Amino acid sequence: MAGSAREYHLRCCACGTTYDDDGVRLDCDQPHPPALLRSVYPQQLSRAPHDTSMARFASWLPRSRTIVTGARTAVFRGERLGRHLGLRDLWIAFNGWWPDRGATLATATFKELEAVAVLARLAPGERRTIVVSSAGNTAAAFASIATETDLPVLIVIPLDAWDALAGLVRVGPSVRIVAIADGTYEDAIALAKRLAARDGYVAEGGVRNVGRRDGMGTIMLSAADAIGALPGAYVQAVGSAAGALAAHEAALRLIGDGRFGRHLPRLVLGQNAPFTPIHDAWDRRAATLAEITPAEARERQRRIAASVLGNPAPPYAAAGGVREALAASNGSTFAVTNDEMATAMTLFAELEGIDVEPAAGVATATLAHAVRAGAIAPDETVLLNVTGGGRRLRPRVTVPQRPALVIDRAQLDIGPDLIADGIGA
C-alpha cells in the first residue's frame, strides 16, 4: 500500500476536536469521558481501478509509509447457505485464504487488514517498537506483516495461542513474542500496557487505533463495490467489536459519498456464551457493561470455544463506541453456545465448501438466530462477515519456533524492565 502525505485528520467522537495524525495517536487530549477518535477523509471514495487488494481503497486508509500487500476480501453471494436459512439475498465477505474465490489473506484472518493499515499508518520516522496484545489472530497477522516489512513489534499472547500462530507464520527477527502460561486475553492486555509505557515502546492501542478500524472497514467497502449498494444488515461475531465499528464507520462514509444508499446497515452481532458482555448490556439497553469480578471473567473466558472473542473491555459506552453504533443502526445482539458454533462451522463447510474459524461459526449461528427471531427479513440484502477461514488450505510452518519469552501468570507482577531484559529488548 503506497504511502502519501496525510490527506485526512482525526476527530474526537465526543467533543469534535480534530488532530493531524502522527501515526500513533489513540485518544483525545480534552477532559471528557472515554471517546474514540475517527478518521475523516475526502468525502467521495476513490478506488484504484486495477488493484483488487485492500489498497484499492487507499483514499480511505490512514497511510504514511509504503507497505505492499495483496490482502483481499472476497465478496460473493452465499446462495447455498442463504437457501438453507431462507434468505434470498445473502452475501458473504470471506476474510481468509481461499485464492480460488479471490480471498488472499495469508494468515487466514481479517486481522491482516488491521495489521497492514496500522503499520502503514506509522510515520516514516517512527522508531519505537509497537506493542500489541492478542488472543491469537491479531498476533498472527502482526507477526506476519511486521516480519515482511522488518518493522519492530512486541506481541503479548496467552501461551495457548502460540501453537496455532507458530504453525501459520514464520516469525522474523523484528518480532518478539511474550507468551503467558495459563494466561488469558485480559492478562495479555494488561502486560502489553505495562510494556508499552517503557521508553522506546508505544502502544498499538487495539480498537482505539483508527488504523485497525479503517483497515477492517475495507470489508464494507468491498461489499458495497460488489453489491452496488450498502446491505440492509451486517452480521459478525464480536469481542472488542472493532470489526463491527469498522463496518459502521465505513457505512457512514459511504452514505456521505452518496452513491451507495442512504440507510445504515443494521448491526447484528453475536458473542460466544457464556462470555457475552456486549450482548448482556445491549439486551438490557444498559448504559455501561455489567461489572463482574476478574475471577468470574476468566472463568467465563475459559469456557468459550471462540477464545479470540474473549475481550473483557470492549468500548461499549465510549462516545463513538458499540452502544452508539447499535442504537444508530437499530441493531441487535445474540448469544451463541459452543455447540451452536460447532454446528454452524460444519454447516458452512458443507454448504459453501471451505473451513471457517470458530468466530466465523459464531457469526453464522448468529445469522441463523436472527432469521428465526425475525431480526432479519427473508428478502433483505444481508452481509455475513466471515472473519477467518481457509486455514486448512495453508501449508503449516514446520521450522521449530519458540516465543522470545514464556512467563507464568504468577510472574506478571515482576517489573516490565525485567521482562524486557528477558526478551533481549
Check whether residue 300 and residue 157 sit in a common domain: no
| Three-state DSSP class for residue 139 | helix
Tally of domains in the chain:
2
- Say if 35 falls within a structural domain: no
More confident residue, 43 or 269: 269
pLDDT at 42 over 80: yes
Check whether residue 410 and residue 382 sit in a common domain: no
At 141-200, the pLDDT tens digits run 999 999 999 999 999 999 999 999 999 999 999 999 999 998 888 899 999 999 999 999
Cell, residue 214: 479503517
At 55-86, the pLDDT tens digits run 999 999 998 888 989 999 999 999 999 999 99
Cell, residue 293: 469480578
- Say if 12 falls within a structural domain: no
- Say if 385 falls within a structural domain: yes
Among 302, 304, 364, 289, residue whose Cα is nearest residue 334: 364
- Say if 362 falls within a structural domain: yes
CATH of the domain at 220: 3.40.50.1100
pLDDT at 136 over 90: no
Check whether residue 305 and residue 248 sit in a common domain: yes
Supply the range of the domain harboring residue 151: 129-199+397-425
The predicted structure's pLDDT at residue 5: 54
Instruction: Over range 26-43, report the average pLDDT.
Output: 95
The predicted structure's pLDDT at residue 290: 95
CATH of the domain at 168: 3.40.50
Confidence of residue 4 (pLDDT cuts 50, 70, 90): very low
- Say if 43 falls within a structural domain: no
> Which of these ranges, 50-54, 210-214, 268-272, has the smallest mean pLDDT?
50-54
Are the beta carbons of 62 and 22 closer than 8 angstroms? Answer: no
Check whether residue 382 and residue 336 sit in a common domain: yes
Contacts of 374 by beta carbon, 8 Å cutoff, 6+ apart: none
> What is the chain's mean pLDDT, rounded?
94
Residue 158 parent element (H or E)? strand 153-158
Check whether residue 148 and residue 261 sit in a common domain: no
The predicted structure's pLDDT at residue 3: 44
Confidence of residue 414 (pLDDT cuts 50, 70, 90): confident
Are the beta carbons of 139 and 163 closer than 8 angstroms? Answer: no
- Say if 224 falls within a structural domain: yes
Check whether residue 99 and residue 216 sit in a common domain: yes
The predicted structure's pLDDT at residue 424: 67
Phi, then psi, of 144 in degrees rounded to 5? -65, -50
Instruction: Over range 307-316, report the average pLDDT.
Output: 93
Task: Kindly state the DSSP code that residue 319 receives in the 8-state scheme.
Answer: B
The whole model's pTM is what?
A: 0.94
Instruction: Over range 202-219, report the average pLDDT.
Output: 97
Confidence of residue 135 (pLDDT cuts 50, 70, 90): confident
- Say if 46 falls within a structural domain: no
Check whether residue 262 and residue 230 sit in a common domain: yes
Check whether residue 188 and residue 291 sit in a common domain: no
Cα 304–Cα 242–Cα 137 angle in degrees, nearest 5: 55
- Say if 28 falls within a structural domain: no
